Amino acid sequence: MEAGVNFRRGDYSPLVLAYLGDSFFETLAREYLVGDGNCKPSELNDRAREIVTAHSQSAMVERLLPILTEDELAIYKSGRNSKSAHRSKSASALEYRRATGLECLYGYFWLTAQHVRARELFLRCVQQL
C-alpha cells in the first residue's frame, strides 16, 4: 500500500467516504477524458456525465466485483448498504446503492493513497463502457 493516512474503517462513515470518493472518481474521469486530447469543455462535460452517472457506475461495479480484494469488497459493501436520504432521479435504487458503494471504495482509495490501484480499476471499467 502506498503511504496514506492511518485509515481505520470506524473513523469514517461509508457516506463520508462516498462523498470524498465521488470527487476522486470524477477527477479520474476528467483526467481520462483530457488524456484523449484537446476538445471543447462542453464535450468533456457530456462525456464525463456518461462515466459518472449512477447507472454507469453500477455497471462498472459488476466488472469489478470479481477482482476486488477482501478489504476492498468490505469497503464497497459498507457503502452499498448504507442508508442515504438521497435518491437518484435517473437511476434505480439498486443502481444508486451500487454507485454509492463504488464511491465509498474510491474515498477509501483516496484516504489510503492507493491512487495506482484506483486508476487501475477505473481504467479497466471505463474502457469497457
**Residue 33 placed within a domain:** yes
**Residue 1 placed within a domain:** no
- Stated length of the chain: 129
Q: What is the pLDDT of residue 1?
A: 41
32 phi, psi to nearest 5 deg: -60, -45
Q: pLDDT, tens digit, for every residue of 70-86? A: 999 999 999 999 987 67
Tell me whether residue 104 is exposed, middle or buried, using C-beta atoms within 10 angstroms of its C-beta: 0 to 12, 13 to 18, 19 or more. buried
Q: What is the pLDDT of residue 32?
A: 92
Q: What is the pLDDT of residue 5?
A: 62
Which are the catalytic amino acids?
22
**Residue 2 placed within a domain:** no
> How many CB atoms are closer than 10 A to CB 98?
24
User: Does residue 116 surpass a pLDDT of 60?
Assistant: yes
**Residue 69 placed within a domain:** yes
The upper half-sphere exposure of residue 38, i.e. CA atoms within 13 Å in the direction of its Cβ, equals 0
CATH (domain of 75): 1.10.1520.10
**Residue 58 placed within a domain:** yes
**Residue 53 placed within a domain:** yes
Average pLDDT for residues 36-43, to the nearest whole number?
81
User: Does residue 3 surpass a pLDDT of 60?
Assistant: no
> How many CB atoms are closer than 10 A to CB 113?
15
Which domain range does residue 39 map to?
Answer: 9-126
Integer Cα distance of 11 and 8 in angstroms:
6
**Residue 4 placed within a domain:** no
Number of domains in the chain: 1
**Residue 22 placed within a domain:** yes
